[in-house]
Amino acid sequence: MNPLREQIRSLLRIEPTSGGFRAIFNMDPGLMVLPDHFPDQPIMPGMCMIELVLIAAGAAHGDQEMRLRVLKNAKFVQPVLPGDQVLIDAEMTAVDGNLTIKAKLSANDSRRAEISLVAGVGEGTS
């Protein structure tokens, strides 16, 4: 696991549910990508939100390292800011050896993102 994925994993609490998972991510102002995205007004990059879903899904699925196979849809509605506590509610369905994941991310009672993807264990794009 690369250092960014390790840092994200350390900030996550995951609870498997029937058919998916619920996770809480505390957006640490010290997240290693923030100085570059953006220096004066840092926000969590969209790709990091996708990684967040993959890491949480892997933890909920037996601590396996999930890799992105197909990004079906990603809607980023509002930015995730340092100090935000992000709630992730996700559904997972096994299809042909992969997982289809539909996740909703919210913080402070407002929608932040909706992500739909296909993930698998092992080699992939993330």
What domains, with CATH codes, occur in the chain? 3-121 (3.10.129.10)
Q: What is the pLDDT of residue 63?
A: 74
pLDDT, tens digit (0-9, with 9 covering 90-100), for 52-63: 999 999 999 887
Q: Mean pLDDT for the chain?
A: 93
Distance CA 124, CA 37 (A): 25
3-class SS string, 32-71: CCHHHCCCCCCCCCHHHHHHHHHHHHHHHCCCCCEEEEEE
73 pLDDT above the threshold of 80: yes
The fraction of the chain above a pLDDT of 90, given in percent, is 83
pLDDT at 126 over 60: no
**How many Å apart are CA 119 and CA 56, to the nearest integer?**
12
pTM score, two decimals? Answer: 0.92
Q: What is the pLDDT of residues 76-115, one digit of tens each?
A: 999 999 999 999 999 999 988 899 999 999 999 999 999 9
